[in-house]
Amino acid sequence: MARIGIFGAGYVGIVSGACLAELGHTVVVRDVVQERIERLNAGELPIYEPGLDEVVERNRDRLRFTTGVAAAVDNDLLFVCVGTPPTHSGDADLAAVWTVIEEIPPGTRAILVMKSTVPVGTGEKVRAALDARGLVDVGYVSCPEFLAEGTAVRDFLSSDRIVVGAYDEADGDAVEALHAGLDAPVLRTDVPSAEMIKLAANAYLGTRISFINEIANVCELVGADVQQVARGMGLDRRIGEHYLRPGIGFGGSCFPKDISFLKLLAGNSGYHFQLLNAVIEVNELQKRRVVTKLQKHLGSLRGKRVALLGLAFKPNTDDLREAPSIVLAARLLAEGAEVSAWDPVADASGLLKGVRLGASALEALAGADAAVVVTEWPQIAELDWAGAKSVMRTSLVIDGRNVLDPHELKRLGFAYDAVGRAESALSLLPETQEPEREQH
């Protein structure tokens, strides 16, 4: 079993650390933010991730959290799990990565494992920086993470694949061996290819979402139901069912950022990545389409009350980064609407200025002219819609995630609009048909 030091107690660092401890390794997770480490040591998780607390608790004897750099670097493998946010130019800010490299003391013998999402070519730069510091006994391996928030523990312990891109075969073997307890194929590549796999995978998934969103928008015009269309497409094994769920656009800390990274990386290297421009633009427009739908039903939104149900960028997370809800709220306020909102977990108090946050869905819905389903939390899909109707001023629901039963809503007397489900197509739906839910 290996001794692993993890730099960065963020999302990737905590989940990877806990899961590597679960596999039997001894792990030290280090972060510069003292409060974060104190909370972790007190048994409190700074992120909301279903199932993670149990894995952390179960492996307490093999999992330590510290602010001390010495305890982290004194290990066989050093995992880099720090943030790489975009700079003003949109490129990845690698400052935190360089800090980790500077913290490695002379004479260290270890393997540096890059988990953070970085531009292609970073491995080469890090290798050169290590060599320049005389750290020739520090190997370098790119082992990108494919953890989705909300399912991260499962994504780690039941990975679809493990990608290992190494300069030195023995270093790659050591990283591969860490994952011996997992039943997942290991793909050995060169370093730039491993870096590209991560960016390409996220960009492709985002492309599928923008594609199905555009199909949905056309469905509305031609009288088709995108739920049926997506199902019919997904059953083709060459296409598959995942990431064909239409909605009000993708968000989160990964897709928007990584797609821009890849677009810029291509541009900086002399290639104009046209498709990604469209993927980004479609996504931006998709977030705003709800406003047009509301106007179709309510006319001018000035003085109208709109309740946003769900704020997190997707269910099972409290993450509001790049959440479509934020753009939507800002657009509605700009149209002169009064906006209220509720999310079962995410705390938007510091973020959504001018938005009245309800303590419950019904509180947010009180007096509203429209309810907009922004995030497909089960609590929202299963809401007491009859109760909702009784507190609303106007009975209108815009289902931005196609999770409600149109017949039920209509039976209750709501005007119902969704994404890619033309009125004509909805009226032909069998009564029992439930909207598709993806298991991802």
Q: Which residues bind ligand UGA (CB under 6 A)?
A: 117, 145-149, 202, 205, 209, 243-245, 247, 250-252, 254-255, 258, 313-314, 438
Q: Secondary structure of the chain: what % helix, strand, coil (to 5)?
A: 45, 15, 40
Question: What is the full DSSP assignment across 69-106?
Answer: HHHHHSSSEEEE-----B-TTSSB--HHHHHHHHHSPT
Lay out the sheet containing 26-30: strands in order across: 63-66, 26-30, 3-7, 77-80, 110-114, 138-142, 162-166, 186-189
CB nearer ligand UGA, residue 261 or residue 416: 261
CB of 321 vs ligand UGA, minimal distance in Å? 9
CB of 254 vs ligand UGA, minimal distance in Å? 3
Catalytically annotated residues: 254
CB nearer ligand UGA, residue 130 or residue 308: 308
CB of 232 vs ligand UGA, minimal distance in Å? 15
Rounded to whole angstroms, the Cα distance separating 121 from 106 reads 24
Tokens of 78: 């050093």
CB nearer ligand UGA, residue 312 or residue 392: 312
CB nearer ligand UGA, residue 389 or residue 440: 440
CB nearer ligand UGA, residue 26 or residue 283: 283
CB of 301 vs ligand UGA, minimal distance in Å? 24
The answer for residues whose C-beta is within 8 angstroms of residue 220's C-beta and 6 or more apart is 420, 421, 422
Look up residue 421 and give its DSSP letter: B
CB of 11 vs ligand UGA, minimal distance in Å? 8
Given a contact cutoff of 8 angstroms between Cβ atoms, the answer to whether 336 and 321 are in contact is no
Given a contact cutoff of 8 angstroms between Cβ atoms, the answer to whether 7 and 78 are in contact is yes
CB of 341 vs ligand UGA, minimal distance in Å? 17
CB nearer ligand UGA, residue 75 or residue 317: 317
| Helix 95-103 and helix 122-132, axial crossing angle in degrees, nearest 10 | 30
| Helix 255-268 and helix 274-298, axial crossing angle in degrees, nearest 10 | 140
Q: How buried is 1 (Cβ within 10 angstroms: 0-12 exposed, 13-18 middle, 19+ buried)?
A: middle
Tokens of 422: 């033309």
